[in-house]
Amino acid sequence: MRSRHLQTVTQRCMLLALSLVAGAAQAQSANTGQWYGVDYTFSGNLRLDQALSTSDTENPFNQRGNLFNGVPVERNSVIGVQDTATRNGVPADNDLNLQLLRGELNAKFGLTSSLALVAKLRGVWDPTRYQEFDPGAVDSVAAGRLYGRPNYFDYDAEGQAHPNPLEWSGREGMVDLPALFFEYNRGPLNLRAGNQQIAWGQAIFFRVLDVANGLDLRRHSALDLAPEEFSDKRVPALGLRGSLQINDQWLLDSFVQKFQPTVQSNPNTPYNAIASQFTVHDQFGAYDSKFNAGLRLKGDFGPVGVQAIAVRRYNPDGVYRWTESGVNRDLPGAPGSGAVLAQTPFEVDSTGVWSAEEWFTYAAMSRLDGTQGLNSAVNEFPAAALLGAFPVATRDQAAQELDLFFQLSGSGLRGHLAREYVRETNLGAGASYVVSASPGSLLDQLIINVETLYTPDRAFTNPSLSRDYLRQDEWTTALVMEKYQRFAESLPATYLVAQWLHKTRSDLFGRSLEGMGGDPDRTPTGYSGGFDAVVLALQQPFANLIWRADLALLYDTKGGLLAQPALRWKPNTEFTVEAFYNYVNGSLHGNPNNNTLSTFSYADELTLRLGYQF
C-alpha cells in the first residue's frame, strides 16, 4: 500500500513538472512583446526542492517526535498516589524533511510611459511523502482544525476565513500573488500601490532595520539558503509605498501597509517550532483592519552612507498567553467537570502532556517557566480552583500538583494559548563606510556597515504565559563587513562577509532571555549581558560562472552552530542545480536551552534544488 501510494505521488509530481516545463518552454519565445498595444515582459521559474534528513532524530515539537513516546515515566501526585505513565505516541522515522514543487510567473505591463502593472504568481505543492501524524492511532479528538491530520499550508486565524489577501491555500499546497501592484514613475518620484513586499535589510540570518514585513515560515522555515536573505520569506501586504530622490545625496522612502503577521509552520509539519501538545488560538481577526507605517531617509556621500528609520507597527511575531480552551470534555470519572475545564486553559486529550517530567522538559525547550506557567494558569482562571488547583511556591510542589491532574486526565492534558499582537515603535539608524587602501589588499573596498534599532516598551511573551506580557526596552545592533577579494588570477573575486549581532532582551527568534536556561529539573534562570551571534560567509564563483561554492556559518555564543556549505551548477541560462547542507548543533557547550539553534538540532539535512528559468 505504502509503495503504491509513493509511486502514485511521484507520478503526479513528474506529470505536473513536465506539463509546467512544456508550457514554460512554449512561453519562452514570448518573454517580451505587445498585447493590445500594451508592452509587457514575462519570466518565470520552476523548481523542485527536496531536503533529505541525515539525522536519526525527529522534530521533538511534533507528536511523532515527542521525546516521551513509549517511555515509561513515574508520576508522584500531591495526594501520594504513584503510578507509571507511558505516552502512547507512535514514533516516526522520516527520510524526508521537505519536498516541494514550486513555480513562479513574473509579469510587467507598461500601461503608459509612467505607469506599469507588476505581478508575480506563485504556486507551491507538497506531495506529503512523510510518516504523518494520525490522530486515530492515538485516540485523539483534539479540538482545532490544525490538530488532526497535518495541514501544511493553511494559515488558521480565528474569525478569518482568508487571513492573507491574494492567497489561496489548502493542506498540500498554496497559490498566491506576492506582488500585484501599480507602479508610477515620474522623475525622482516612485509610487507603488497594491500587494507588495518591502526589504529594508540585506543581512545573512539577521534582521535589524528590516522591520516592514513579517516572515512566512511554512516552506523551509529559517533553514533555506542563507545568501537569499529572506527574499522568499517576507509576507506581502496591501499598501502604498513611495520614494522620492530629493537630490543626488538624499532618498526618502515611506510606506503604509495593512498589518500581516508572521506565518508559523503548522503543528506536526516538518519544521514546526511550537510544542504540539499545545493549541494556538491566533487572534489575528482582531487586528485585520490595522495598519503599519514607516519612513526611511538614506544619504549617500561618496564612501560614507547614512540612514535613519521610524516605524510604527504591530510586531508580526506576536506574543502568547494562556487562554480558555472552550472544550467541554470531562475528566474520566468526573461527570460535569468538562464544563469547568473549558473555562481553564486545558483540554483532555491523548496528544497533550502526560507527566510533570514532560511538562518541565518542554517548558525549558520552549524557553518557558514550568512552575510559574502553572501558577498563571491557576491565578488567572478562577475555574481552575473549582477543580482543586492551587498556586505553588517551588518546582517540586508544581510537579506533584501537575502529576495529580495528569493522572486524573486518564491520558494527557492539552494547553491552550492565545496569540496576540502588540503595537510598537521602531527607531533605527545606520552608517556605512567604504575603505580605500592599497589596491588588491584585504582592506581596499571593504564595506563597513553598522545598524541599530531601538524599540521602547517592547512586548515579549512572559515565560509564565501570563496575560501580563513582559514590557522592556530593547536595542538591536549589527556590525556587517563585506567585500570582494580576488585570491587568484584564474578565479573571479570571492565575496566575503563577517557579521555580529547583539540584542539586549531577546534571542534571534525574539524569545525573551528571561526564559533561557531551564531544564527538566530547574526553572529558567535567564541570562544577562544580552544575546550575541556571529556570522562568517563566503561565496566563490568559478570560471565562466558555471559553478559557485558558498559557505555560511552562524554561531550563537551560548553554544549553538549552524554550518551551511552549498554548491551551485548553472550550465546555461535555463537550468540550475543547487545542493546545500544544514548542520545544526545546539549543544556545543553550556545548556542547550540557552541558545537559539537547539530549537532546530534535529534538522541536519541535505537539500537539493532543480530549477528551470524562462
Q: Strand, helix or coil at 437? A: coil
pLDDT 10s digits, 380-435? 999 999 999 999 999 999 999 999 999 999 999 999 999 999 999 999 999 999 99
Average pLDDT over residues 218-241: 95
pLDDT (0 to 100) of residue 587: 96
Residue keyed to cell 491532574: 405
Question: Other CB atoms closer than 10 Å to residue 481's CB: what's the count?
Answer: 15
Would you give the DSSP letter of residue 589?
S
Q: Are 401 and 391 in contact (CB under 8 A)?
A: no
pLDDT (0 to 100) of residue 21: 44
Instruction: Return phi, psi of residue 556, to 5°.
Output: -90, 125
Per-domain residue ranges of the chain: 31-322+419-613
pLDDT tops 90 at residue 483: yes
Q: Are 403 and 413 in contact (CB under 8 A)?
A: no
Which of 52, 71, 63 shows the shortest CA–CA distance to 92?
A: 63
Grid coordinates representing 614?
524562462
Query: How far lies 214's CA from each of 165, 202, 237, 258, 445, in Å?
Result: 14, 15, 10, 12, 33
- Per the confidence metrics, is the pTM higher than 0.95? no
Distance of CA 583 to the CA centre of its chain: 18
pLDDT (0 to 100) of residue 367: 99
- Contacts of residue 589, defined as CB under 8 A and 6 or more positions apart, other chains included, come to 559
Q: Strand, helix or coil at 313? A: strand
Which of 187, 268, 197, 190 shows the shortest CA–CA distance to 239?
A: 197
The Cα–Cα gap between 287 and 316 comes to 11
pLDDT 10s digits, 318-373? 999 999 999 999 999 899 999 999 999 999 999 999 999 999 999 999 999 999 99
- Of the candidate CATH numbers 2.40.160.10, 1.10.3720.10, 3.30.530.20, 2.40.30.170, the domain formed by 31-322+419-613 belongs to 2.40.160.10
pLDDT (0 to 100) of residue 22: 46
Q: What band does 201 get if pLDDT is binned at 50, 70 and 90?
A: confident
pLDDT tops 50 at residue 23: no
Average pLDDT over residues 244-253: 98
Q: Are 537 and 226 in contact (CB under 8 A)?
A: yes
Grid coordinates representing 250?
538624499
Average pLDDT over residues 59-71: 98
pLDDT 10s digits, 278-296? 999 999 999 999 999 999 9
Average pLDDT over residues 185-194: 98
pLDDT tops 80 at residue 238: yes
The Cα–Cα gap between 448 and 439 comes to 17
Which of 329, 269, 346, 366 shows the shortest CA–CA distance to 51?
A: 269
Grid coordinates representing 371?
512552575
Which of 157, 152, 138, 42 shows the shortest CA–CA distance to 90?
A: 138
Q: What band does 34 get if pLDDT is binned at 50, 70 and 90?
A: confident
Q: Are 507 and 524 in contact (CB under 8 A)?
A: no
The Cα–Cα gap between 320 and 139 comes to 28
pLDDT 10s digits, 99-128? 999 999 999 999 999 999 999 999 999 999
Helix (H) or strand (E) holding 528: none
Helix (H) or strand (E) holding 143: none
Helix (H) or strand (E) holding 45: strand 38-53
Q: What band does 31 get if pLDDT is binned at 50, 70 and 90?
A: confident
End-to-end CA separation in angstroms for the chain: 38
The amino acid sitting at 507 is D
The amino acid sitting at 264 is Q
The amino acid sitting at 386 is L
pLDDT (0 to 100) of residue 35: 81
Angle between helices 395-409 and 370-379 (to 10 degrees): 60
Grid coordinates representing 431?
552608517
Q: What is the mean pLDDT of the chain?
A: 94
Average pLDDT over residues 545-572: 98
More confident: 421 or 202: 421
* Antiparallel, parallel or unpaired: β 278-282 and 605-613: unpaired
According to DSSP, the residues that pair with 453 across neighbouring strands are 428, 476
Q: Is the dihedral of CA 320, 321, 323, 325 positive or negative?
A: positive
Q: Strand, helix or coil at 335? A: coil
**DSSP class per residue in 48-88:** EEEEEE--S---TTSGGG-TTBT-EEEEE-TTS-EEEEEB-
Radius of gyration of the chain (CA): 26
Q: Strand, helix or coil at 185? A: strand
